C-alpha cells in the first residue's frame, strides 16, 4: 500500500513508519524539515519525505489524498492543537479517494478519571481540559469519512513508552535536572500503558484491515492498551532508579498547573482502560516489555527522544 503518515519524525510516527516499511508498504511522511536528524533517519529506511506544516493543510493534503491510506499522528502540541488537528483531518479526508483508509489518533485521556472501573470504547467520555476538543473531532472524522466512503478508524492509545520517549522521557529529563521525580498529585493514581512498537503494530493492523473494507474495523474506535493500570508511584520509582535521582516527590496539582498548565490535569488522571476490544478485533497481541520493566532499563534514558 501507498501510505502517508503525518508526524513522521514524532515519537509515534517514527515507530509507525518503521513498521510500515518492514511490512513492505510504500511510505511518505510529513516532516517539518527534511534536513533534520530524525527526517534523515526516516529517509535511510526508505521513507519518502514531504516537507510541510501541520498548520497549513494545503502544504500536504493533496499528497495525502494520493495515498491508499493515511495515518494521522501529528499534533502541534500547543494551544492551537485542536483547530490544527481538525483542519488537517478535514483537508486530508476531503482529498482521499473513496475506498481509501484513514487512521486517526486520539487517546485514552478522553475518558477522564475512570474511578477504578475499566473504561471501554462504550464508556462515557469526560476529557481532561487539555484535549476537551478531541471527541468532537473524532465524531467529525467518522461522519466525513462515512459520507465519502473512506474507511476511517480511530485509535485511542494509552500512555506510550519505549526508547526513552514520550511523557516518560520528559519526566526522566526533569528528574535529571532537579534530582527528583515529581509526580503530579499524591502518586496513588494509575496510568494505562502501551509500548510504542506494539502501538505501531496496532496502527498497521487497523490500516490494513480498513483498507480491505473489514466491517468490524471501518468506522470503529479502539483503545490501544497493553496494561490497563500501572500505579504512578511505581512509575516514579522506576524512573528515579533508572536516572539515579534522589527521590520521588508529590507535586500538588495547583502548583503543577503553574508550570504545566492544563497538561498537569492530564498527568493527574487516575485511569484504568481496557484494550480487549483491539486484541479481539484487530488480532493484536502486545509483545513489548511492560512499562515498569521498560523504565527500569537505564539505557532507555541515556538519549531522550521528543514526545
CATH of the domain at 168: 3.90.25
- Provide φ and ψ at 211, rounded to 5°: -65, -25
**Claim to verify: residue 170 and residue 156 sit in the same structural domain:** no
Distance CA 196, CA 300 (A): 13
**Claim to verify: residue 30 and residue 151 sit in the same structural domain:** yes
**pTM of the full predicted structure?**
0.95
Q: What is the pLDDT of residue 35?
A: 85
All 3 cell numbers of residue 160? 506510550
pLDDT at 290 over 70: yes
Distance CA 231, CA 244 (A): 20
**Claim to verify: residue 131 and residue 181 sit in the same structural domain:** no
Q: What is the pLDDT of residues 36-89, one digit of tens each?
A: 999 999 999 999 999 999 999 999 999 999 999 999 999 999 999 999 999 999
**Claim to verify: residue 172 and residue 55 sit in the same structural domain:** no
Q: What is the pLDDT of residue 297?
A: 82
**Claim to verify: residue 143 and residue 200 sit in the same structural domain:** yes
**Claim to verify: residue 173 and residue 120 sit in the same structural domain:** no
Q: Does any domain span residue 279?
A: no
Domains held by the chain: number: 2
Q: What is the pLDDT of residue 305?
A: 39
Confidence of residue 306 (pLDDT cuts 50, 70, 90): very low
| Residue where a domain stops, chosen among 206, 224, 242 | 224
**Claim to verify: residue 121 and residue 247 sit in the same structural domain:** no
**Claim to verify: residue 81 and residue 219 sit in the same structural domain:** yes
Q: Where are the beta strands (DSSP E) in the chain?
A: 2-6, 26-31, 48-51, 69-72, 101-105, 118-119, 151-157, 159-161, 180-184, 190-195, 221-224, 227-231, 247-251, 272-273
pLDDT at 307 over 60: no
Q: What is the pLDDT of residues 135-188, one digit of tens each?
A: 999 999 999 999 999 999 999 999 999 988 999 999 999 999 999 999 998 889
**Claim to verify: residue 30 and residue 147 sit in the same structural domain:** yes
Q: What is the pLDDT of residue 298?
A: 56
What radius of gyration do the chain's Cα atoms show?
19
pLDDT at 134 over 60: yes
Give 120's Cβ-side CA count (13 Å radius).
5
CATH number of the domain encompassing residue 219: 3.40.50.720
Q: What is the domain range of residue 69? A: 2-160+194-224
Cβ neighbours of 24 (radius 10 Å): 7
**Claim to verify: residue 177 and residue 260 sit in the same structural domain:** yes
Distance CA 148, CA 93 (A): 8
Cβ neighbours of 143 (radius 10 Å): 13
User: What is the SS3 assignment for 55?
Assistant: coil
**Which residue(s) pair with 248 in the sheet?**
181
Amino acid at each position: 500500500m501507498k501510505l502517508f503518515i503525518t508526524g513522521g519524525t514524532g515519537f509515534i510516527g517514527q515507530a509507525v513508519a518503521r513498521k510500515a516499511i518492514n511490512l513492505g508498504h510504500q511510505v511518505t511522511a510529513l516532516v517539518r524539515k527534511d534536513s533534520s536528524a530524525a527526517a534523515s533517519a526516516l529517509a535511510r529506511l526508505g521513507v519518502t519525505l514531504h516537507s510541510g506544516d501541520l498548520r497549513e493543510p494545503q502544504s500536504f493534503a493533496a499528497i495525502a489524498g494520493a495515498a491508499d491510506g493515511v495515518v494521522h499522528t501529528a499534533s502541534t502540541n500547543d494551544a492551537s492543537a485542536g483547530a490544527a488537528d481538525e483542519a488537517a483531518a478535514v483537508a486530508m479526508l476531503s482529498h482521499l479517494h473513496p475506498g481509501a483508509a484513514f487512521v486517526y489518533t486520539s487517546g485514552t485521556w478522553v475518558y477522564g478519571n475512570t474511578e477504578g472501573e475499566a473504561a471501554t470504547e462504550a464508556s462515557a467520555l469526560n476529557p481532561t481540559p487539555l484535549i476537551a476538543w478531541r471527541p468532537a473531532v473524532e465524531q467529525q472524522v467518522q461522519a466525513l469519512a462515512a459520507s465519502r466512503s473512506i474507511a476511517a478508524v480511530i485509535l485511542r492509545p494509552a500512555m506510550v513508552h519505549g526508547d526513552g520517549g514520550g511523557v516518560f522521557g520528559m519526566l526522566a529529563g526533569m528528574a535529571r535536572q532537579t534530582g527528583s521525580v515529581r509526580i503530579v498529585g499524591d502518586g496513588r493514581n494509575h496510568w494505562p500503558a502501551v509500548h510504542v512498537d506494539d502501538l505501531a503494530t496496532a496502527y498497521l493492523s487497523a490500516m490494513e484491515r480498513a483498507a480491505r473494507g473489514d466491517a468490524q474495523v471501518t468506522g470503529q474506535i479502539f483503545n490501544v492498551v497493553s496494561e490497563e493500570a500501572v500505579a504512578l508511584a511505581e512509575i516514579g520509582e522506576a524512573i528515579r532508579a533508572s536516572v539515579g535521582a534522589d527521590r520521588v516527590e508529590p507535586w500538588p496539582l495547583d502548583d503543577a498547573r503553574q508550570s504545566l498548565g492544563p497538561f498537569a490535569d492530564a498527568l493527574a488522571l487516575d485511569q484504568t482502560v481496557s484494550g480487549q476490544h483491539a486484541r479481539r478485533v484487530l488480532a493484536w497481541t502486545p509483545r513489548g516489555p511492560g512499562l515498569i520493566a521498560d523504565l527500569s532499563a537505564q539505557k532507555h534514558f541515556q538519549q531522550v527522544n521528543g514526545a
